Amino acid sequence: MNGFDLAYLAASPLLLGKKREGWRERLGYVESIPAKSKPRVMLHAVSVGEVNALRHLVPLLVQEPIELVVTASTDTGLARARELFAKQAIVLRYPVDLSRSVRRFLDAVRPDVVGLVELEVWPNFVKECERRGVPVGVINGRLSARSFRGYRRVRAVVGPTFRRLAFVAAQDGHYAERFEAMGVPRERIEVAGTMKWDAAALGEPGVLLPGAAELAENLGIDRGALLVVGGSTGPGEEALLHAACAEVEKKIGRRVQLLCAPRKPERFDEAAGAMAGCVRRSVTKAGSPLADARGSLAGASRFLLDTIGELRLAYSLADVVVIGRSFGDLHGSDPIEAAALGKAVVIGPRYGDFEQTVSTLRMGGGILVAERGTLAGELARLLQDAEARAAIGIAGRKTVLEQRGASGRHAATLMQRVDTGTR
């Protein structure tokens, strides 16, 4: 067992008491997969957000003469990867970064090139790929200021792993500079843009996404009343939005509904407690033993999306979207999906993990930044002014369209390594 094995075990979710599934797969035991007949490209995405970012890249790659493997670390990420890509790729769970687990996994999968989505750089995995002559690099590369500060403090430990990366396709120039500062040679770094601009589903103004009307009906959302959607909310934000919407109702004299979608499933019960009497999607979802009770939900004004994979539908229903994890100390969530649907988007002041995305949308007029103390006022202004909401939505959608194209550049980067490695 090497030093990296010991470091991983020290921070293991198992030892920390967090519930995780699929431990046999996490230890690198891979169910039988087809024998490799063509070069094999592996894409690794940590969780749901990173998996979703691959929605345009995967179809581009499957047109190439390769085999594709998509891996994910979290249970929710793996479920999403299977939902999106099971018919196009081999979908597997990514192993824990123990040397034996990594070797066992790579013996079974035998990739010819590996793309790690955003910043999932584990030392044993990267080192073992290098030892086997497998180019491993970062795609859709993102190294936030906060993460950069943390890595810089332990650069003596993590620097060799960064230096082993064969390529980095960074989202923007700031991230590229940070990867270089961590030790990646400059000639191995390119600025390719963010694939999340491509992955976001574009919506037509005033047209609901398929399934959105059914979601509203099942929850009891009044389509004739105003609706604020809090997306990827964090601790304390459901209560903040609940209070803000109640204040807005008093200011404008109209009913304001609120739907919150917490980022972490383990927070669902906590979020429900912050919105007393809220209607929970898990109760009204088809197949739930209480689903038939939804007819008694008329008049409800607080809703909790305590399911996975329906946030886009909720955004489609919204008059205003508030992006969560941005009013506390969690450094923001991704606003691109809501902007792509042409929604009036508001985000809090703490969005450090998405600084470039928010900056791009702000320059285009497609997002507003509000403080805790100004949130209710911004919501009141927007909910009273349909033209202002529409203007922000149009600008946001236009910005998303202008930024698209990164998936093609990332596909070219990966295929270049496949060609180089198989000549």
Q: How far does CA 406 lie from the centroid of its chain?
A: 16
Q: Check: CB of residue 194 under 8 Å from CB of residue 332.
A: no
Q: Which residues pair with 170 in a beta bridge?
A: 141, 191
119 vs 179: CA distance, rounded Å: 10
Residue 166 backbone phi and psi in degrees, to 5: -80, -25
20 vs 23: CA distance, rounded Å: 7
Other CB atoms closer than 10 Å to residue 295's CB: what's the count? 7
Which amino acid is located at 137 in the chain?
A: G
Name the nearest CA neighbour of 74 among 264, 201, 267.
Answer: 264
78 vs 58: CA distance, rounded Å: 15
Q: Cβ neighbours of residue 147 under 8 Å, at least 6 residues apart?
A: 119, 353
Which amino acid is located at 261 in the chain?
A: A
- pLDDT values of the chain reduced to their tens digit, one per residue, 423 residues: 555 554 554 444 444 445 556 788 999 999 889 899 999 999 999 998 899 999 999 999 999 999 999 999 999 999 999 999 999 999 999 999 999 999 999 999 999 999 999 998 999 999 999 999 999 999 999 998 889 999 999 999 999 999 999 999 999 999 999 999 999 999 999 999 999 999 888 888 789 999 999 999 999 999 999 999 999 999 999 999 999 999 999 999 999 999 999 999 999 999 999 999 999 999 987 655 554 444 446 689 999 999 988 999 999 999 999 999 999 999 999 999 999 999 999 999 999 989 889 999 999 999 999 999 999 999 999 999 999 999 999 999 999 999 999 999 999 999 999 976 543
Q: Cβ neighbours of residue 238 under 8 Å, at least 6 residues apart?
A: 230, 260, 262, 271, 274, 275
**Entry pTM:** 0.79
Q: List domains and CATH numbers for the chain.
A: 3-193 (3.40.50.11720), 212-403 (3.40.50.2000)
Query: Using CB atoms within 10 A of its CB, is residue 87 exposed (0-12), middle (13-18) or buried (19+)?
Result: exposed
